[in-house]
Homo-oligomer: A and B are copies of this chain.
C-alpha cells in the first residue's frame, strides 16, 4: 500500500506543478504511520533534521495538492493528516482535556442520511456544499 500511496501522491503533486521531494515523502510517511492527526512538534519529532519552516511550507504544498488536510481542534494550533480520499472518509473524536484526536467512522446508513440532508440543506440556503466536518467532542480513555 505504501508504494501505491506514494504513486498517488506523486501524481497529485505533479498535477499541481510541484515536485515530490524526499522531505515531502518523509512527511507523507510520518502522517501515514501516525494514523491520526499530528501537531507540528509531533511531525518534527517523527523525522530528524526537519526544518520547521520547510515542514510548514511542505504541508501547505501537500494541502494544495489535496494530499494532506489541516484539522482544527480546540487547541491553538493545527493538526495535519492525510487527505480523506487516501485514508477513507472518517470523523474525529477530540479530547477536550488533552487535545488528542482519534479517527472514527460512523455507520454507512447514518453517513448517507447525513450527506443527503446536507446536500438538500445547501440547496435550500443557496450555498453549494463541498463537504462536511463532524467532530465528537468529549474526553478520551486516559482523561476520562
Contact = CB atoms under 8 A, between A and B. Distances in A.
Contacts of A72: 72-74
B110 A93 contact: no
A96 B127 contact: no
Contact of A117 (B70, B73, B106, B144): B106
A137 interface: yes
A142 to B, nearest CB: 10
**Identical copies in the complex:** 2
A89 to B, nearest CB: 14
A132 B132 CA distance: 13
Interface in A65-88: 70, 72-74
Interface stretch (A3-11, A14-22, A48-56, A118-126): A118-126
A136 interface: yes
Q: Which 8 A-B pairs have the closest CB atoms?
A: A129-B138, A126-B141, A72-B72, A133-B135, A110-B117, A127-B138, A131-B137, A134-B134
